Amino acid sequence: MPVTFLYRLWKLLIAGAVVAIAGCSTTGNTFDTTDLRFLVPGETTLAEATELLQGEPVNVYRQLDGSAMARWAHTASLATDAVYFNQELWLAFDASGRFVRIVKSNNVPHANLYRDGRRVDVPRPVEAPPTPTAPAVFHSPISQNAVSYPLGR
């Protein structure tokens, strides 16, 4: 009897694995947004962006003026109509083929957090204003202190 139970359990596990594999689907191309911060407007080309994202765009929409819109997208579902993972990134390129801006992003962490390789949410270091010269303090025999400020400096 235990052999029959184990046999049925084994068949059930195999059937579940087959159903799980059959229920999975993916569309688009995988891409990695780790180096997204290195996209530099006016400098990065479409080929360089493709290399930085480690994946080919799904679509490139060319305009009459020579500019282009490139779309990277990847969708995966674990079970039909149940669990989805969708990642999408649209980049605009000018007529000379250089990156202009991120047009749209979906489930791309920190897509607009970097500009020219620098974080935009971190304030730039502010130079300290020049410190005024400290007033000179003279001690006098009178009980009060006299303060003198230098002029013309």
CATH of the domain at 84: 3.30.1450
Say yes or no to pLDDT of 131 above 90.
no
DSSP assignment, residue 67? -
Q: What count of other Cβ atoms lies within 10 Å of the Cβ of residue 91?
A: 25
Q: Express each pLDDT in 64-121 by its tens digit.
A: 999 999 999 998 877 666 666 889 999 999 999 999 999 998 888 777 777 666 666 6
Establish if 54 belongs to a structural domain: yes
Kindly report which listed range (27-36, 51-60, 61-70, 113-122) carries the lowest average pLDDT score. 113-122
More confident site: 134 or 31: 31
Question: Does 76 map to a domain?
Answer: yes
- For 80, list phi and psi in degrees, rounded to 5: -55, 125
Confidence at residue 30, expressed as pLDDT on a 0 to 100 scale:
84
Alpha-helical segments (H) within the chain: 2-23, 46-53
Number of domains within the chain: 1
- More confident site: 61 or 80: 61
Which structural domain range is residue 99 located in? 26-116
Domain assignment present for 8: no
